[in-house]
Amino acid sequence: MKTQLSKEDLLKAYRKMREIREFEDRVHVEFAKGTLPGFVHLYSGEEAVAVGVCEHLNDKDRIASTHRGHGHCIAKGVELEGMMAEIYGKKTGTCGGKGGSMHIADLDKGMMGANGIVGAGPPLIAGASLASKLRKDGSVGVVFFGDGASNQGTNFESMNLAVTLDLPMIFVLENNGYAESTSPKYSAKVGSENIADRARGFGMPAVTVDGNDFFAVYEAAGEAIERARKGGGPTFIECKTMRYFGHFEGDAQTYRPKNEVKDARANDCPLKRFADAVTSAGLVDAAEIEAVDKEVLAQVEQAVKDAENAPQPDLDALMNDVYVSY
């Protein structure tokens, strides 16, 4: 295998993916205990998409996320500790406990929020990339959205707007085969099974990649982002991937074949594939991978402890920040 990434970069990317996996698997466990409030949608299985894209981005680049947003947050550099506290609804959370899992945002990191409204991201990132373009600062906007969201009018309109205004915008479609219980085979009939074909119709370059292969995502995103930074307009990247848990925590998943997730975990896990590739190519030692795993485990463990012990928001937070002016 060949890659231009240094050993340091490789370990950094792996660490991000491990952080996502460990974080999500732990939230899954905590949710099952009944300790976590609200709706939670987990990103386990899709790590290579968020990390493969965000490794090309800096804090000035903006991303918009989805209801399944933890992975995008982590990949964009939002701190685990604040995220965990947010999911617990604590004062120390990224949003002071006022947003929760579905609304984690860190604008300083260019992370414009997980989102409770399917299809809300594309117009927002059209706007973010318009701002980039007008400011001429070389930054780009990336919107992550699902196969289900790809059917939302906002997405079609934003594709057209991005092409019309020649925006430095990347559409990253996470095609995980389901929108709740509905397959894109039913709801997004595009002939070829590649939803990316739609984007080509709007007049932008579009590719479909193996979203469980970090390097495939990384390469496609790199090309698209570089083009956008140079004024070459929008690109659409479809990443075929798999979610390992239910649509939300608590979903019985009767719409899935029995062994689908088990097989994917065994044979197509993005972290395993990454680790196998870099160790067998002699780029990273297995011991270094294991060390990352251990460190991340400890970090997530600590984040949970801290979140559990953190105070609830002060009651005056209820009335604060409805407006800037009062």
Give the residues across from 63 on adjacent strands: 111, 142
CB of 105 to another protein, least distance (A): 12
The residue with tokens 């289900």 is 148
Our measurement of the distance from residue 214's CA atom to the centroid of its chain's CA atoms, rounded to an integer in Å, reads 13
CB of 316 to Mg ion, least distance (A): 39
DSSP one-letter string for 178-221: -BTTB-HHHH---SSS-THHHHHHHTS-EEEEETT-HHHHHHHH
Asked whether position 185 contacts another protein by CB under 8 A, the answer is yes
The C-alpha angle 222, 112, 231, rounded to 5 degrees, equals: 40
DSSP-based three-state secondary structure for 62: strand
Q: State which H helix or E strand residue 250 sits in.
A: none
Give the residue with the Cβ less far from Mg ion, 176 or 235: 176
Give the residue with the Cβ less far from ligand TPP, 147 or 238: 147
Give the residue with the Cβ less far from ligand TPP, 66 or 129: 66
Closest CA to 217 of 51, 11, 91: 51
**Site map (CB under 8 A) of another protein, residues 104-143, x = contact:** -----------xxxxx------------------------
Euclidean distance between the first and the last CA atom of the chain, given in angstroms as a whole number: 57
DSSP-based three-state secondary structure for 84: helix
Residue choice 147, 213, 238, 249 for contact with Mg ion (CB under 5 A):
147
Position with the least CB separation from ligand TPP? 146
Give the residue with the Cβ less far from another protein, 165 or 190: 190
Please state the length of the chain: 326
Residue choice 61, 81, 147, 213 for contact with ligand TPP (CB under 6 A):
147
Please say whether the beta carbons of 214 and 273 come within 8 A: yes
**Site map (CB under 8 A) of another protein, residues 249-278, x = contact:** -----xxxx---------------------
CA pseudo-torsion sign 305, 311, 317, 318: positive
Residue choice 52, 71, 146, 246 for contact with Mg ion (CB under 5 A):
146
Asked whether position 123 contacts ligand TPP by CB under 6 A, the answer is no
As a whole number of angstroms, the distance between CA 81 and CA 304 comes to 8
Rg (alpha carbons) of the chain, rounded to whole number: 19
Asked whether position 242 contacts ligand TPP by CB under 6 A, the answer is no
As a whole number of angstroms, the distance between CA 23 and CA 253 comes to 21
Give the residue with the Cβ less far from ligand TPP, 89 or 184: 184
Helices 7-32 and 214-229: crossing angle in degrees, nearest 10, is 110
Give the residue with the Cβ less far from Mg ion, 124 or 179: 179
**Site map (CB under 6 A) of ligand TPP, residues 176-195, x = contact:** x-xxx---------------
Give the residue with the Cβ less far from ligand TPP, 119 or 168: 119
The two beta strands, 169-175 and 235-240, are: parallel
Asked whether position 246 contacts Mg ion by CB under 5 A, the answer is no
Give the residue with the Cβ less far from ligand TPP, 45 or 168: 45
Residues lying near ligand TPP in the complex (CB under 6 A)? 66-68, 116-119, 146-149, 174, 176, 178-180, 247
Residues lying near Mg ion in the complex (CB under 5 A)? 146-147, 176, 179
